[in-house]
Amino acid sequence: MSEIKKSTPSSAMVLASKWNSPENRRREGMRAAHGQNEMALCELLESYLLLKSSRKGLISPKTLLTYTETVHKFLGYTGPPESPKLGLLQLTPDDLELWMLYLQREEGLSPSSVKRHVYGLRNLFKALIWAEVLKTDPSATVRPPSDKTESHVKKGALPLEMYRRLLTLPLELHPEDLPRARRDVLLLLLGGSSGLRAAEICGLEVADVDLKLRRLKVRGKGAKTRVVPLQKSMLEALSSWLESRKALELRGKIQSQALLVSFQPMHFGKKLSTNGARTIAASYYTPLGIPLEMFGLHTLRRTAGTHLYRATRDLHVVADILGHSSVNTSAIYAKMDSDVRLEALDKLERLQNGD
């Protein structure tokens, strides 16, 4: 994949300014579309998302990266820029239907992955319409494939015993590196007990921790901030890690306000990235035999949501702690908990048997 540079806040402003002029936007957009120039098309797409999408400047780096991957994948499908088999300005719905079929049959992508790419491409077409390069969106009538497997079946949570075992691994695997073990235990707890998203975990700063009031300030999706209470295990993990972190800071090893920092030699003491956090979690998933499809920090969030629902049977509490805007989103955790369904069936059996 050609390298797409991540925009810093200042570079994003420059990029948006570059495409903000209607005349320049149309001229450069037409040139990019005709030449099927991946870099220029990604710049136009990013500028459109920053300036015109519903979330505007709050668009996440992960979303931008996902959409640039879609552009790369689709341009690879259309053929080399100098002699493409499909031109961006002559696309039809049938062309896009064939592309979706190709993604499923030839690349083996799941329906959800195909849907993600269709939405990414749809935003590129919106950007080209914004630039007055296209008049209509060729994907407007295209419907991505539906996934017949419900998400609670496809992506489960860790059972209680497995989660408890997971939390013991950092100290077992890194007995000679106490700071690393403490950081990793905290990372796993933030995901698996407090239910934070990957970006929320890595976005935490030391100032967000209030041990006296037992609360944590979390910056969530859409720049929404919530306060998460700290249970005993979280207080202990935070206190232990902050002690180790302070010692590293006094030795000049840390020059960042981030709560969690990297231990990689090239990035030691810098803010831990979401990719770095996922790699850390995966290093503990592997010894437990957790399936590859469950790798990632969101498995921990699903685990927290499922166990929280089991403990409370209250979707409103789950929604509040996890930062969901609707309890409908939280309802998935009730479905993930097989014990809840088993308890219901046991009660039904007792009722039917007259017990």
Q: Catalytic residues, which ones?
A: 197, 221, 298, 301, 324, 333
Q: Phi, psi (5° rounding) for residue 213?
A: -90, 0
3-state SS class at 217: strand
Count of Cβ atoms closer than 10 Å to residue 222 Cβ: 11
**For the chain, what's the residue count?**
355
Handedness of CA 265, 271, 277, 280 (dihedral sign): positive
Rounded to an integer, what distance in angstroms lies between the CA atom of residue 230 and that of residue 196?
12
17 sits in the region (left: phi over 0; alpha: psi -120 to 50; else beta) called: alpha
Rounded to an integer, what distance in angstroms lies between the CA atom of residue 103 and that of residue 240?
47
143 sits in the region (left: phi over 0; alpha: psi -120 to 50; else beta) called: beta
Full 3-state SS string of 51-113: HHCCCHHHCCHHHHHHHHHHHHHHHHHHCCCCCCCCCHHHCCHHHHHHHHHHHHHCCCCCHHH
